[in-house]
Every structure is written in structure tokens, then in C-alpha cells.
């Protein structure tokens, strides 16, 4: 899908699309590199949109146990199914992510493009609660979320006890510039984390 078509969809539902352009290659690669830093286990992408990040995650034969994509917009979901026939694409709200059946011992890596600041507040709250419920029930899991806010502003404050945000990188070659964050248990943080 072209950037123009993405922008047109943004005009139709600006709060849920939350951006004027798909993720840039630089942003997608930054996220894919962060995902590869550890065994992703079951990889779940929410709010995949045009699949710009999906493509980077799927490239190079990422060794995930399973790759599930969740996208609420039916047109984007159709496009994702067409472009990634090998992936499980679910056309539903991210607030249902915790109902996915995942082996009790599997690590989950959740990658979120959800526009948490602009999407309807109740939907954002329910989606965050569902993502937190999923990563806290699966030991060793984490949430990678990017934001367009100022680089020091974490995606959301209400993190479970013993979990912290780690700022991965700011990507200036993106419209708008984005900051990638990883929410992980304090005990599992990389030495350079703060």
C-alpha cells in the first residue's frame, strides 16, 4: 500500500491510525533488531497496518515459534493476509490479545504499533491491560512499543511492579520521528538499560 493510501485511511479514522505514514525502513529495522536481541518465542504484532514492520520481522527467517498479527482495520487485515500468507492474521481488537492460547512456558515478544495516545481512551486502556496480562503470565516475555511523543516520555506509566521501560532508540528518519521502548522485567534488563 502506498504512503498516499495510508494517509487517506488516516483521514478516515485518524485516532486509530495515529500516523501520517507507514513505519519507515529505519524504524522497522530498529524494532526487528531489538526483537532479535533475544529468542522471541511466540511473536505477536498488534496494529500491524500496512505490514512495514511485519516485513522486517519476517525477513531473514526470524526463528520465532509462531508469528501472529493482530489488526483491527479490515482493509489492512486483508492486505496483511495477502502479503503474508504464511502468518496468522487476526482481524480483531488488540484488547483480545490475552485470549490467545500460548503454551504456558513460551516466551512472548509483543510488538505494538498501537497509537495509544490518540485511539479511543477505553480501547487504549483495555488493550494495554490485555498486553500486560499476556506478558506477565508468560515468564521472560516483553512488550516493544514505539511512540511519537518526546523521546523521554514512556508509552504509558501503569507498569506492573518489577517491570521497567528501557528506551531502545530514537529513530529520526521516520514521519514523525519515533522512539522505541521495551517493557521488561527488571531482572532481565540488558546491562546498558536505565
Interface residues toward ligand SAM, by CB under 6 A:
16-19, 22-23, 46-47, 49-50, 52-53, 70-73, 76, 93-94, 113-115, 119, 123, 127
Q: Tell me how far, at minimum, the Cβ of 136 lies from ligand SAM, in Å.
A: 20
Which of 175, 193 has the CB closer to ligand SAM?
175
> Which residue number, 58 or 114, has a Cβ lying nearer to ligand SAM?
114
CB of 40 to ligand SAM, least distance (A): 17
User: Which residue is associated with the grid cell 501503569?
Assistant: 158
Task: Compute the C-alpha angle 19/14/168, nearest 5°.
Answer: 30
Do 6 and 22 form a contact (C-beta atoms < 8 A)?
yes
How many residues appear in the chain?
194
Q: Considering beta carbons, is residue 138 or 174 the nearer one to ligand SAM?
A: 174
Specify the pairing of strand 163-171 against strand 178-185.
antiparallel
Per the CB < 8 A criterion, the answer to whether 141 and 109 are in contact is yes
Instruction: Give the nearer residue to ligand SAM in terms of CB position, either 40 or 47.
Output: 47
Amino acid at each position: 500500500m502506498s504512503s498516499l493510501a495510508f494517509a487517506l485511511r488516516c483521514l478516515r479514522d485518524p485516532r486509530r491510525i495515529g500516523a501520517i505514514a507507514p513505519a519507515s525502513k529505519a524504524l522497522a529495522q530498529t524494532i526487528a533488531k531489538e526483537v532479535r536481541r533475544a529468542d522471541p518465542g511466540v511473536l505477536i504484532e498488534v496494529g500491524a497496518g500496512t505490514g512495514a514492520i511485519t516485513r522486517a520481522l519476517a525477513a531473514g527467517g526470524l526463528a520465532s515459534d509462531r508469528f501472529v498479527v493482530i489488526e483491527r482495520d479490515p482493509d489492512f487485515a486483508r492486505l496483511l493476509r495477502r502479503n503474508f500468507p504464511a502468518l496468522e492474521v487476526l482481524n480483531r481488537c488488540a484488547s483480545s490479545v490475552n485470549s490467545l492460547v500460548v503454551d504456558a512456558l513460551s516466551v512472548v515478544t509483543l510488538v505494538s504499533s498501537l497509537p495509544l495516545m490518540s485511539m479511543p481512551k477505553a480501547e487504549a486502556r483495555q488493550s494495554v491491560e490485555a498486553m500486560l496480562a499476556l506478558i506477565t503470565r508468560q515468564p521472560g516475555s516483553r512488550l516493544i512499543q514505539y511512540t511519537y511523543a518526546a523521546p523521554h516520555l514512556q508509552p504509558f506509566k501503569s507498569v506492573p511492579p518489577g517491570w521497567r521501560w528501557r528506551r531502545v532508540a530514537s529513530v529520526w528518519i521516520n514521519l514523525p520521528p519515533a522512539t522505541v521502548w521495551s517493557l521488561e522485567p527488571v531482572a532481565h534488563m540488558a546491562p546498558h538499560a536505565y
